[in-house]
Amino acid sequence: MNYAFEEGKYEQFIFGSEAIIDLLADIEDHLPLFRAVVSSDDRPNRLSDYFVRASTLRAAHDGACKYLPSNATLWVLNPLIDVTKADLPNITRLGWRSACSPSSPARHKPFHLDRPPPRPEKKTFVYDHLRSMDPCLHPDHFHHHGQFLSHNKGPLPQHTVVPEFSYCSTPIHHDIRIPTPYGWLEDIYPRSDDPAWIDKLDERLLWRGSNTGIFHNNKTRWQGSHRDFLVRYANDLNGTLSVLRPTSSATEIVGPPKEYHKSRLNPALIDIAFAGKPTQCSPATCDLHRKIYPWREHQTIKQAGNYKYIIDVSWNAFVFAALLTSNLRLTEMDGRGVSNDLLHQIRWFSKRLFTPNGK
How does DSSP assign 194-223, residue by residue? S--GGG--EEEEEEEE-S-SS-BSTTS-GG
Name, in order, each residue with C-beta under 8 angstroms of 184's C-beta and a sequence gap of 6 or more: 318, 321
Q: Say if CB 293 and CB 207 are below 8 A apart.
A: no
Q: What is the pTM of this model?
A: 0.81
Which has more confidence, 74 or 208? Answer: 208
Position 158 scores a pLDDT of: 94
**3-state DSSP of 235-276:** CCCCCEEEECCCCCCCCCCCCCCEEEEHHHHHHHHEEEEEEC
The tens digit of pLDDT for each residue in 34-74 reads 888 888 777 888 999 999 999 888 887 777 655 444 444 44
For the chain, what are the domain ranges?
2-143+157-177, 191-247+255-346
- The pLDDT confidence band at residue 293, using thresholds 50, 70 and 90, is very high
Least confident of 68-77, 84-93, 272-281, 316-325: 68-77
Position 187 scores a pLDDT of: 77
Q: What is the dihedral of CA 197, 198, 202, 207, to 10 degrees?
A: 20
Say whether pLDDT at 81 is over 60: no
Rounded distance, CA 56 to CA 65, Å? 8
Half-sphere exposure of 141 (CA within 13 A, CB side): 31
Q: pLDDT over 70 for what percent of the chain?
A: 79
Rounded distance, CA 359 to CA 355, Å? 13
Say whether pLDDT at 288 is over 90: yes
- The pLDDT confidence band at residue 236, using thresholds 50, 70 and 90, is very high
Position 337 scores a pLDDT of: 38
Position 69 scores a pLDDT of: 43
Exposure pattern of 15-51 as b/e (b: 16+ CB <10 Å)?
A: ebbeebeeeeeeeeeeeeeeeeebbbebbbebbbbbb
Position 182 scores a pLDDT of: 66
The tens digit of pLDDT for each residue in 304-350 reads 889 998 887 765 544 555 555 667 666 655 444 344 443 333 333 33
- Smallest Cα–Cα separation from 58: which of 161, 168, 140? 161
Which has more confidence, 134 or 354? Answer: 134
Rounded distance, CA 115 to CA 132, Å? 22
Least confident of 119-128, 197-206, 216-225, 339-348: 339-348
Q: pLDDT over 90 for what percent of the chain?
A: 42
Position 118 scores a pLDDT of: 85
Q: Say if CB 270 and CB 357 are below 8 A apart.
A: no
The pLDDT of 253-282, averaged and rounded, is: 93
Position 127 scores a pLDDT of: 82
Mean pLDDT of the chain: 81
Position 341 scores a pLDDT of: 41
Q: Is the bond preceding 256 in cis, omega lying within 30 degrees of 0?
A: no
Say whether pLDDT at 234 is over 90: yes
Name, in order, each residue with C-beta under 8 angstroms of 312's C-beta and a sequence gap of 6 or more: 207, 319, 320, 323, 330, 331, 332, 333
Which has more confidence, 184 or 117? Answer: 117
- The pLDDT confidence band at residue 208, using thresholds 50, 70 and 90, is very high
Q: Say if CB 194 and CB 323 are below 8 A apart.
A: no
Rounded distance, CA 52 to CA 48, Å? 7
Position 323 scores a pLDDT of: 59
CA 160 vs. chain centroid, Å, equals 24
Position 345 scores a pLDDT of: 37
- The pLDDT confidence band at residue 129, using thresholds 50, 70 and 90, is confident
